[in-house]
Amino acid sequence: MTTTPAGVRGGVVGLLGMRDFRLLWAGETASMLGSSVAAVALPLVAVVTLHADTFTVGLLTAAAWLPWLVTGLPAGAWVDRLPKRPVMLTCDAVSLTAFGSVPLAAWLGGLTMTHLLVVATVGGVARVFFTLAYRAYLPALVGSERLLEANAKLQGSESAAQIAGPGLAGLLAHAFGAVSGVLADAISFGIAALCLRAVRTREPAHRRTGSRAVRHPETRKRWQLLAEIRDGVRFVIPDPYLRTLTLFSAMSNIAIMGYHSIQVVFLSRHLGAGSAQIGLVLALAGAGGLFGATLAGRIAARFGTARGFLLCEAFAAPMMLLGPMGNGPALFTVSGFCTGAGIVASNILTSTFRQQYCPPELFGRITASAATLNYGAIPLGGLLGGLLGESIGVRETMSLMAAVQLASLTILLLSPIRRSRDFPALNGSFRPQHGS
């Protein structure tokens, strides 16, 4: 079995000269494009087709992320036990089925808001398992030394998808109705599954089982899962870098999702933008993420990974304040471009750090321990966005969420990251003081 990035060609192509990475990249690009379309299409279906209010639109966003709070920790333990590629394939199949049911229900005249909420929740559960498996699988696919390049290419594709997705969603909604964007998302999961099936690389056997499982022979089987979850939590809490990033991400995600969950409402009802114009504005704003992805490697080389991360976040936060200030889409677009550039570049740096820093046999549980808090904060942000949007106003809520994002920088400035040029590297296995 291939466990190293064999077959990589040199030159400008880089990892795209590696067959298995190219397949993964192509499949995930298609899936991310579909998800970017659905991120606009689902709220449009709720607002335009089902005439949902602002709170319900926020609830739809919350439903998609709530599974991290409910299933995140056990999912991390399960993913550490299982081969990652079959988990990812199963998640793609579940997502295809769930999102494919929306256009079917609409065409049969039976689509309801409850149906949309259930689909968002099921898709969210699939995303939990897929994300944990995907992040653990990538180091096995490309090797530790190519992770920054791999994350930059994948994040760049995601940013490109976020540029094209909203515009495509707007065009599809204008031509065929908002529900057609959800159908496009379902099809994209099928494409991703076909590409993933063709990937030959398998992770080493030690990555498939938690090495800590044998340390609890006296524990009953039903408590074994809790013991394995505890190992991941105990790694994160004492670690000054992982703990800081987890707390910062949680606060930041509340702000970002509270802002994003009502931005379609803001553009539609406050700036008077139509479906096609909303798609165009969000696409132009999303171009900032692609720009940030191309700069991440240069930022790391010039300033260091930790210092570069701080600079990216310090740039993005005040830019977010500009979005709700104008009376037209221009300022909103500039704000989204700059904010996206900073956040995407910082995400590439921190994703690479975690994949290099965490022991492979615990990676799923460590990732789940952090993600349960920082991704679990996303539904709270979605609910806050909807509730505050109804009570104090959409523009005022977006300004408040931007202020919270700016305040979250305090967590970073009070941590060891402020004094570091680079994030530390961990080349060994599990550190006993974090799990015993």
Q: Which residues, 6+ apart, have CB-to-CB distance to 270 below 8 Å?
A: 394, 395
Per-residue pLDDT reduced to its tens digit, 248-261: 998 998 999 888 87
Give pLDDT, residue 400: 92
Q: 32 or 178, which is more confident?
A: 32
pLDDT at residue 296 above 90? no
Q: 353 or 425, which is more confident?
A: 353
Residue 214: CB atoms within 10 Å:
8
Residue 233: CB atoms within 10 Å:
18
Confidence grade of residue 283 (pLDDT, cut at 50, 70, 90): confident
Confidence grade of residue 220 (pLDDT, cut at 50, 70, 90): low
Lowest mean pLDDT among 122-131, 178-187, 377-386: 377-386
Confidence grade of residue 307 (pLDDT, cut at 50, 70, 90): very high
Give pLDDT, residue 311: 94
Map tokens 């692609």 to a residue: 290
Q: What percent of the chain has pLDDT over 90?
A: 16
Give pLDDT, residue 53: 74
Domains and CATH numbers, the chain: 15-210+234-434 (1.20.1250.20)
Give pLDDT, residue 434: 35
If you count DSSP H runs as helices and E runs as strands, how many of each does the chain have, helices first? Answer: 17, 0
Residue 173: CB atoms within 10 Å:
25
Q: Which residues, 6+ apart, have CB-to-CB distance to 83 below 8 Å?
A: 202, 203, 208
Give pLDDT, residue 219: 47
Give pLDDT, residue 176: 78
* CA distance linking residue 87 with residue 131, whole number of Å: 10
For 381-403, b/e burial (b = at least 16 CB within 10 A) is: bbbbbbbbbbeebbbebbbbbbe
Rg, C-alpha atoms of the chain: 21
Per-residue pLDDT reduced to its tens digit, 109-133: 888 888 999 999 999 899 889 888 8
Confidence grade of residue 211 (pLDDT, cut at 50, 70, 90): very low
pLDDT at residue 328 above 80? no
pTM for this model (two decimals): 0.70
Backbone angles phi, psi at 359, to 5 degrees: -60, 135
Give pLDDT, residue 275: 66
pLDDT at residue 2 above 70? no
Indicate the SS3 state at residue 393: coil
Which of 401, 377, 371, 374 is CA-nearest to residue 388? 401
